[in-house]
Structure 1
Amino acid sequence: MKFITLLLITSLITQSVIASELPDLGDVSQNSFSASDEARVGNEIMREIYTDPQFYDDPELTDYLNNLGARLVAASDAPQQSFSFFMLKDNTLNAFALPGGYIGVHTGLIEAAQNESELAGVLGHEIAHVTQHHLARMIDSQSNGILPSLAVLALAILVAKSNPQVAGGTIAAAQAASIQKQLNFSRDNEREADRIGIKTMAAAGFDPNAMASFFERLQKYGRIYENNAPAYLRTHPLTTERIADMQNRAANFTSKQVTDSLAFQLLRTKLHVLNLRPDLAVIEYQSASKDPHYANLTSILYGLTLALSQNRQFSQAEISYQQLSKFASPIIDLLGADIAQKSGDIKLALQRYRQARVRYPHYRPLTYSYADALIITGLNNDAVTLLTDLTRTYPDDAKLYQLQARVYAQQGKDFLRHYALAEFYARQGSLTAAIEQLQIALKTRDGDFYQTSIADARLKQLIAQNKALLAQQQK
């Protein structure tokens, strides 16, 4: 990732984070690294992640991940805490928690999970890292008691959590005693995250045994491919004793057979298809569709339909979609509209989008694609009406403002375009960029008095927020 600057952070990790005293796992309120500090660190690192090529901005997968995460958080000991789940396009098996309730998941982890409970187990574990303030305690345990720049600290945390190879090299440079202290700290936190994660996933209705089964499979894989072990093993140390402890804790809950959601099945298939060359994906799923022993016909049919569309075999994709459309899912409906749009049948695409929105009015990935289709076809007034209504319903959704900026650009409304871009950047934490867009908007002179008054007030608000943030960072 471009935002990992090894030379900048090596000394910080080796001297400040690795060389920490073993923290007390007691009341986090005693820590000097406060909840507001955690939020600032999380916001700063997410601002960098949003602009990184590995950030995977797939609305369907992001929506699914956040719905699954919300279900787990609601069943946790901290249901009031705010979380945001995001994806990185990376085939390695990894997930990591950041301060402020941000949890990153690699696409490879979703593909590797054999069922939804296994994925829920990993998320439950990462949620526990956040609710127990493990990163905050690690940071707060610095022997000198001095916090480094939050921006640098954010980079240090991410390199240790999401890039274990770099982190491993950094750790090797530290003194042996400091390494052992950090490993002990990590194991204590991993055991606590296991215990709380299993409790959370069981309360959310998932199989509590799935966490142990997934980690046990990872451990076996790591032994076979010792020099290329999954990234998750390097950031989350596993031992036979730890897996046995998971199994013992899971035994305290009722074992259950949990049926995977259709969304999990379809989106796991989607990731697999998109990782293949389109023509090879078609061959694979055509072969699988003829296998009478393959149990999940819906996923196979979805994979084949998507693969045909990706390979631009739209006639065959439409035939396959007609079979697939018998199953109810907004993911399937969205694929049907996308096939029609890509094949050039705009009338059919818009019809399918509208029908799907009646069935699934709150499924935002569908709405994003519908707005995009309206913009592409020049139905700008319809797009403006749609997006204006949605920003009132979902005022914190950055993607809606990004779409607004596109349609205003197409209409030649410069003031409104730059104002929408300002709101987009503000919601991604890029206050400087948001301020610049508002300044440009006020110079366009095509906004009326009411609009420019609102923009001027918003500009003053963002400048004040940015000054306050910079002041906090310099403390």
Structure 2
Amino acid sequence: MKPIYVILFCTFVASAVLAEDLPKLRKAPDDRILIAPGVRSDDLPDLGDVSQTVLTPLQEQRISDQIMRDVMSSGDVVQDVEVTDYVQNLGYKLAANGPDKHQLFNFFVVQDNSINAFAMPGGLIGVHTGLILAANSESEVAGVLGHEIGHVVQHHMARMMAQQKMDSIKSIATLALAALAARASPELAGGVMTTASAAGVQSQLNYTREHEREADRIGLQILDSAGFDVRAMPRFFETLQKGSRFVEGSAPSFLRTHPLTTERIADVRNRVDQLPYRQAQDSQEFQYVRAKLLANLGSIQQAVALFEGNLADKTYTNEASQHYGLALALIRKSNLEGAAAQLAWLRKNAARNAMVETLAAQIEVARNNPQQAAKQYLTALMAFPGHRALIYGYAEHLLATNQIDQVLKFINEKQPQYPNDPNFFELRSKAYTAQGKNLLRHQAQSEAYFRRYDIPKAVEQMDLAVKAGDGDFYQRSSVEARLNELRLLVIEPKKEGFFN
């Protein structure tokens, strides 16, 4: 598997960017965010038009869409919908308490054990799994996300570009890639800059101290407005700083790319002391997501031993999450009876939760008990109708039991809630394949690729839909028109000279 950062550099400059209407993908109900007003903006500078003179909204959009295309194809993005939905919901909750009413955001999770998060043009915010695992509370994760939101709404990357007087979109894109590469490896970032003949801007890869102070202040305001523990931000910063003092070269990635000084921590601490004390309890989803990440980390034996040891020694802050994590680790071990025993404990001792209900269905599927699996999915969906892991699971169950008409009816019912979710189109494609409807099969798969930012494959599949030879007149006309639209998405950016 290639590192996400290498793929980004190799493909960013060489390939055509996505089309103008792709941001519509982030305006849908399942992933939109318009930020409401209502937080303070003390001590923040008046940006004027400095960022807009470097990146127009269309250019920023195209850069962000290309980044997402490369991110999605890297193999490093976490695909577990329960993990991604948790981070997205947390991010949207925070962003809704931010200062910019119009900024769109797209939050995603990167499988990387380093402690880091990063913001890129177009409101893209990536979170490393290592950050979630290193945090001792949900408010600590929220504090880092709030900080990254601050970088976005203050257009810090665009301001760095303005300071460098960059007038080439290719140079801007290269700097964006180098900044992203720096999140993993400063050496790799230097290589990117050398390759792009952009020597002399290496110092601009890291945010300036003023940028960091601005992001801290906005992040703190967001944290307070969203109801989290504001003391978590300086506490987590202090933990990172202390942990990096004892081993040379051990500074977490977040510290390398977000310079952290005693003065900066003191500034945040001083602002926190002026706010009223609030104790914020972690959501159960946060605890379960951390447990899920741990259950899939390392070997099966290590995962099982970790949770069994924690439960035996009572070294936990949330007991339910340890039983949940142990159940997942035991499923990895194919010990379904052991997993069922942990589920029974959760059912008896913990509040009902969609992630636990999904676990119960997964156990029945693994037991090859389709009737009990169907019963569990339907019961759980009545309580949690919008939980995507349950929706996907039940749809896959219907496909596996050859209930094709039912699965299409189910997808038609659920898909309007998530119109830009590629998984629904892939489920459709599987159903149409089972029915032998080739035009509809390829059309659905094309739309899935489109929503994964992979335009070439979308064109390829839509072309196969046109050539399928079945379908009625309306369907054939529809796929022909759509194929022309998709081809334009590749051609138009080249005609405009974007990334020549």
- TM-score of the alignment, normalized to the shorter chain, above 0.5: yes
2:110 and 2:129 in contact (8 A); partners too: yes
SS at match of 2:126: strand
Q: Distance in 1 between matches of 2:336 and 2:472?
A: 46
**1:240 paired to 2:250:** no
AA paired with 2:72? Answer: Y
Q: Distance in 1 between matches of 2:92 and 2:393?
A: 24
Counterpart mapping for 1:362-373 below 5 A? 362-373=386-397
**1:26 paired to 2:51:** no
1:135 pairs with one of 143, 151, 157: 157
**CA spacing shift, 1:387–1:162, aligned 2, 3 Å:** farther
Cα drift, residue 328 of structure 1: 0.8
Equivalent in the alignment of 2:440: 416
Q: Distance in 2 between matches of 1:262 and 1:390?
A: 25
2:283 pairs with one of 258, 261, 272: 261
Q: Which has the higher contact order (CA 8 A, sep 6+)?
A: 2
**1:382 paired to 2:406:** yes
SS at match of 1:269: helix
Q: Distance in 1 between matches of 2:198 and 2:465?
A: 54
AA paired with 2:337? Answer: S
Q: Distance in 1 between matches of 2:474 and 2:150?
A: 47
Q: Distance in 1 between matches of 2:484 and 2:407?
A: 29
AA paired with 2:444? Answer: A
Equivalent in the alignment of 1:287: 309
1:85 and 1:103 in contact (8 A); partners too: yes
1:455 pairs with one of 474, 479, 486: 479
Q: Distance in 2 between matches of 1:464 and 1:410?
A: 31
Equivalent in the alignment of 1:187: 209
Deviations 1:21-44 (A, max 9, x none): xxx962246523122211111100
Equivalent in the alignment of 2:490: 466
Equivalent in the alignment of 1:41: 63
Equivalent in the alignment of 2:34: none
Equivalent in the alignment of 2:229: 207
- 5+ residue gaps, structure 2, are 14-44
Q: Distance in 2 between matches of 1:6 and 1:356?
A: 40
Equivalent in the alignment of 2:140: 118
Equivalent in the alignment of 1:19: none
2:193 and 2:199 in contact (8 A); partners too: no
Equivalent in the alignment of 2:352: 328
Q: Distance in 2 between matches of 1:108 and 1:234?
A: 15
Cα drift, residue 57 of structure 1: 0.9
Cα drift, residue 282 of structure 1: 2.2
AA paired with 1:100? Answer: G
Q: Which has the higher helix share?
A: 1
**1:4 paired to 2:9:** no
Deviations 1:295-339 (A, max 9, x none): 422112112211211111111211221221242110000011001
| Greater displacement, 242-251 / 262-271 | 242-251
Equivalent in the alignment of 1:352: 376
**1:405 paired to 2:429:** yes
Cα drift, residue 416 of structure 1: 1.2
Deviations 1:345-401 (A, max 9, x none): 121111111111100011122211221222222222221111233333321111211
AA paired with 1:27? Answer: G
Cα drift, residue 455 of structure 1: 1.2
Q: Distance in 2 between matches of 1:306 and 1:177?
A: 49
Q: Distance in 1 between matches of 2:329 and 2:52?
A: 54
**CA spacing shift, 1:144–1:302, aligned 2, 3 Å:** closer
SS at match of 1:300: helix
Counterpart mapping for 1:32-181 below 5 A? 32-143=54-165, 145-148=167-170, 152=174, 154-167=176-189
2:54 and 2:166 in contact (8 A); partners too: no
**CA spacing shift, 1:245–1:3, aligned 2, 3 Å:** closer
1:337 and 1:349 in contact (8 A); partners too: yes
AA paired with 1:191? Answer: R
**Aligned pairs, number:** 462
AA paired with 1:350? Answer: A
| Greater displacement, 393-402 / 25-34 | 25-34
**CA spacing shift, 1:255–1:469, aligned 2, 3 Å:** farther
Equivalent in the alignment of 2:457: 433
Cα drift, residue 179 of structure 1: 5.4
**1:300 paired to 2:302:** no
Cα drift, residue 293 of structure 1: 6.2
2:8 and 2:71 in contact (8 A); partners too: no
SS at match of 2:169: coil
Q: Distance in 2 between matches of 1:469 and 1:249?
A: 46
Identity, % of aligned positions: 39
SS at match of 2:118: strand
TM normalised by structure 2 equals 0.86
Task: Output the aligned Cα RMSD.
Answer: 2.7
**CA spacing shift, 1:195–1:151, aligned 2, 3 Å:** closer
SS at match of 1:223: coil
**1:313 paired to 2:335:** yes
**CA spacing shift, 1:464–1:6, aligned 2, 3 Å:** closer
Cα drift, residue 247 of structure 1: 0.7
Deviations 1:72-99 (A, max 9, x none): 0111112442111111111111110111
**CA spacing shift, 1:100–1:219, aligned 2, 3 Å:** same
Q: Distance in 2 between matches of 1:229 and 1:150?
A: 28
SS at match of 1:373: helix
SS at match of 1:76: coil
Equivalent in the alignment of 1:229: 251
Cα drift, residue 215 of structure 1: 1.1
SS at match of 1:4: helix
Q: Distance in 2 between matches of 1:99 and 1:235?
A: 16
